[in-house]
A and B are shown apart, each in its own frame.
Chain A
Amino acid sequence: MMAKNNSTLPGPNDIYREALPNGITVLTRSNFNSPSVVIGGFFDAGSLFDPDAKLGLADFAASALMRGTKKRTFDKIYNELESTGASLGFSSGVHKSGFNGRSLAEDLPLLLNLLAESLMTPTFPKTEIEKMRAQFLTGLAIRAQDTSDMASMVFDEILFKDHPYSRAEDGHPETVKRITQSDLVKFHRDHFGSRGMVIAIVGAVKSEEAVRQVKRALGAWQVKGQKEAPALPPLKPMKKTVNRHHQIAGKSQSDLVIGTTGPMRKDADFMPAMLGNNILGQFGLMGRIGDAVREKAGLAYYAGSSLSAGIGPGSWEVSAGVNPANVNKATDLIISELKRFVDDGVTADELADSQTNFIGRLPLSLESNGGVANALLNIERHDLGLDYYHRYEGLVREVVREDVLRVARRFIDPNKLAIASAGA
């Protein structure tokens, strides 16, 4: 018996969604093909709340949640988790912080207990905080030597000048050194709470049972005075191309990031931009950029483009790793591809190829429990509707060449680019 296409995509028929009285939204979808389960979620405690002087605070707080709770020590938390082969971790973004975990289905109650304890009653023990600080500072020292990380950082500084998006969420050595235990306690008190929290559970558990377990673990969580996120200031458009190199001595390869702003996720131009980007730097062996920089010129092992679209203004960036002697040559090739993209747009064949690519690969991205959990969170975060993945094919097919050209011209001006490189 062959599986039917639409019957395997998540939709209103098999996604269960329930809003709990304390503001938590639960999304679940069962999958009994493997005895495992995945949880994922987000809440409003991102780095937007970080003061400049203590940049990295939200990240530190999220990472420190599992270092000890009122009930369990760091070692006890991880002992329970790792003894069952389960995993759980927190991380922070600009707008939201989030969590991911997985376990055998039989251990879901344990996973949710640890999640709830970490969110509700972390103690931020001083000794653990100092251990983590050393780990963060080492991570930042490694970042300073990473050509790819540094090129991305410089790119954000140019493109998002004077905007919160220009800031590195993991902070800088001097800001991480300033963060104290009381900063973490205060950050948790002010910004963590059930309002706005979303949790997705996917795997070998029935929906009603999953929701019952979430209610048991997190249903009683109520926080008074949970602060609202500050409004985003407007982004100043770039007036001319800005090119900046960050020197890291002794590196055999330089990383290059060239780009501009992109649409927000909710922008009506999101889908044409995604398809255009696929043609520009994804399709086949990384689209037109890969063809020019890697296949024809042999300049790079990797060269492609990406679109990052979230709650606020996004970025549209081309990146490549090249020999330091070839940075200028690769830059010129990439800019000429961007010019061609905004001057001539894309061909009918290119668009048709990318459309079938998007439609065909959707079931692949939704194959694992983790893939489905991300899809459910995506639906909720951007208000896409439970039927989004059933409507997806239509949304892809309705894009025409003119849409791609219009969107390319709306966002990309080859004379106003952010160009960042890092390396020797």
Chain B
Amino acid sequence: MTNSLTETTLSNGLKVFLKEIHTAPIISSWLWYRVGSRDEVQGKTGISHWVEHMQFKGTPQFPANILDKAISREGGAWNAMTYLDWTAYFETMPADKIDLALRLEADRMTNSQFDPEEVASERTVIISEREGSENEPLFQLGEAVQQTAFRVHPYHHEVIGDMADLRTMTRDNLYNHYREFYVPNNAVMAVSGDFETDKMLARIRELFEPIPAGKEPARVARGELPQNGEVRLTVEGPGSTSYVQACYHFPAASHPDFFPLSVLDSLLAGPSNLNMFSGGISNKTSRLYRALVDKELAVSVHGGAQATIDPFLYGITMTIHPKRKPEEALAALDKQLQKVREEKVSKEEIARAIKQARALFAYGSENITNQSFWLGYAEMFARYEWFQTYLDKLAKVTAKDIQRVANEYFKPQSRVVGTYVPLNGKAK
């Protein structure tokens, strides 16, 4: 089965990827905008995510009460998500219905209304979304660690934004953000599935090419300076379970060190699946599980990095064993990290990490939605080529590379350690 891939850029700057896959009568269309919490300043944190919500609130052609039913009526699955560097909208539809999704996306690239009443009702919905997250100890801990790890870079705040800003942002703030970033030259369209490339491209041109290019959006992100010394913090809250999160500054996805670090992640904490929709595998024979969970210092341990434009974080999260103290688990973690800094890992461990990555890639290519996801996702922080050559780059990683990056990135003096201290029924 040949899956032909076409890449082109329209005259207005919209980048288009098309991949024919004829395994099922399904097409998945993704539209990615280069805008996320990375593009937000204090006072307007959470604005990108809120704009994403407003994209479901209607245009003159597809009013709110029509829009939300149009896709479902045709049996489509659709959603949107906002992240550190990007906002994405997708529709996976029966192949003969995809035109609706294309028309909808072309329309809401420029015609969303941001009706003040809709903005007001969405404000309380988003506040409710944040309150739901605040119920979770790990959200509270993660937010505190992240804001400590970044002083000047906008990765400082959570994608959902600070409650203070969610209460005060105006309709015009939202609309201006929309107009600035939702321009074709700031977007990537990726469509995969059961279509003929020529016809699909012609239809995309017809719908999207009349939209004029906009000004290149201004970027506010400033580079974070190196952290010179470990920072520790605590968050107190309800419950009886302690958690520890240790975060290390990590390179951008496009940095060559990302690949040896991915192998290191695999053997420390089990392989992370960068594909957000196809799940992972267990990590019970990873070094950290053996040292922490098998030794009954923690009841679970997870680690992972994100693929981002600017350097972000590698986080290790431990749920502490009820009979142990957070410091004991942290000491065991340190011992393992010291080991990878001092001793070369074996060839077998590297081969194992590569096999794990190969399996995860195979799972991720089982469905069309996932294949379409990768086309645009990789473009958000690198190029599609990054994805195509990922396994080859992992295969070139040596034990020496891993030791070097372990020393460079897993330094105790450049980490933030957060501990969630449960109040055990005591008042705050």
Contact = CB atoms under 8 A, between A and B. Distances in A.
Contact of A298 (B92, B121, B365): B121
Contacts of A302: 132
Contacts of A139: 299
B25 A360 contact: no
Contacts of B43: none
A348 interface: no
Interface string A8-19: 100000000000
A42 B236 CA distance: 42
7 contacts: A5-B94, A36-B366, A84-B355, A138-B322, A145-B137, A250-B428, A284-B68
Nearest to A105: B362
B74 interface: yes
Interface in A61-100: 74-75, 78-79, 81-87, 89
B366 A321 contact: no
Contact of A294 (B1, B76, B125, B134): B125
A353 B71 CA distance: 10
Interface stretch (A129-137, A226-234, A257-265): A129-137
Interface stretch (A183-191, A362-370, A375-383): A362-370
A268 interface: no
A359 interface: yes
Given A146-B135, A253-B132, 12 more contacts: A3-B24, A34-B366, A131-B296, A134-B321, A139-B299, A142-B241, A284-B68, A357-B75, A363-B24, A363-B25, A367-B26, A367-B366
Interface in B355-374: 355-360, 362-363, 365-369
Interface in B279-306: 280-286, 290, 293-294, 296, 299-300
B219 interface: no
Nearest to A132: B299
Contact of B131 (A78, A82, A253): A253
Contacts of A395: none
A1 B22 CA distance: 7
B23 A364 contact: no
Interface residues on B, range: 35 or more
A102 B355 CA distance: 14
A56 to B, nearest CB: 16
A234 B94 CA distance: 43
Given A2-B25, A138-B299, A138-B322, A364 B75 contact: yes
Nearest to B23: A33
B128 interface: yes
Contacts of B25: 2-5, 8, 363
Nearest to A139: B299
Contact of B355 (A85, A142, A357): A85
Contacts of B194: 2-3
A67 to B, nearest CB: 10
A78 B24 contact: no
Given A284-B69, A321-B128, A138 B321 contact: yes
Contacts of B22: 1-3
Interface in A30-72: 31, 33-36
Interface string B390-425: 000000000000000000000000000000000101
Most buried by B among A248, A283, A300, A364: A364
A356 B74 contact: yes
A82 B281 contact: yes
Contacts of B1: 33
Contacts of A131: 293-294, 296
Contacts of A4: 25
Contact of B356 (A8, A74, A82): A82
Interface in A302-353: 302, 321-323, 353
Interface string B43-85: 0000000000000100000001000110011111100000000
A353 B126 CA distance: 28
B271 interface: yes
A82 B284 contact: yes
A36 B362 contact: yes
A82 B282 CA distance: 7
Contacts of B365: 33-34
A357 B77 CA distance: 9
A103 to B, nearest CB: 7
